[in-house]
Amino acid sequence: MDEVVRRWTAQLLDSGNALSLVVALVALALVWQHNAWRLLRNVVTIAHEGGHAAVALLSGRKLNGIRLHSDTSGLTESSGRARGPGMVLTLFAGYPAVSLLGLGGAALVSNDLARVMLWVSIGLLLLMLVALRNAYGVLSVLVTGAALFAVSWFATPTWQALCCELLSWFLLVGGLRPIVELGSKRRRGRAAESDADQLARLTGLPAGGWMALWFVTGAVALVVGGRWLLMMPQA
């Protein structure tokens, strides 16, 4: 085990992978710092609500619309059976979607497919745009899409890879903070209609159990995706 740790550390601290570590620390700072997080949390909300919407459609529910709000909250409305697997999966999908998108981004970036990541992300935002039902939501998605388009169109391949790496790290780390925030809100009695509480009423599994499952999923995605990003070959 000591030899494995020694080799992993040596590889991490070479000139290229040290840059990946710096990018990871920048992402951590963006998630940790209050003002930066309040602004960039909109990106996390887009991914969260997109997860609800995608699973609602895949489970056979009718997607009625998505709303994104200036306080960084969001709401995805779908119609169908009030109980059953489709509803459970739809409610479950929001929090893991953020971490899993980060994991997918890490897979693409670590395989030198940053440009593919950018265009896939833009395509997903365009699909989401169709389902938005309020002006702030449209603005949030357009601004995010414009930023990604600018990187894909004007940045060099090196900067594209760097930006995509930062976005992947941000989603991997940022996917965990809303779960922690939800736990804090629930302790203060301010989240009675949260996804976790709705799932508890539908399934009988306590809300804390759903939150723990989300956190473990996000933590595993962070470990796996983080290793891909830290160990990837550098130019």
Whole-model pTM: value is: 0.91
pLDDT tens digits for range 25-51:
999 999 999 999 999 999 999 999 999
Of residues 213, 234, 207, 179, the one with CA closest to residue 16: 234
Give the residue extent of every domain in the chain.
19-231
pLDDT tens digits for range 160-213:
999 999 999 999 999 999 999 999 998 888 877 899 999 999 999 999 999 999
Q: Dihedrals φ, ψ of 67, to 5°?
A: -125, 135
The overall average pLDDT reported for the chain is 91
Q: Are 78 and 90 in contact (CB under 8 A)?
A: yes
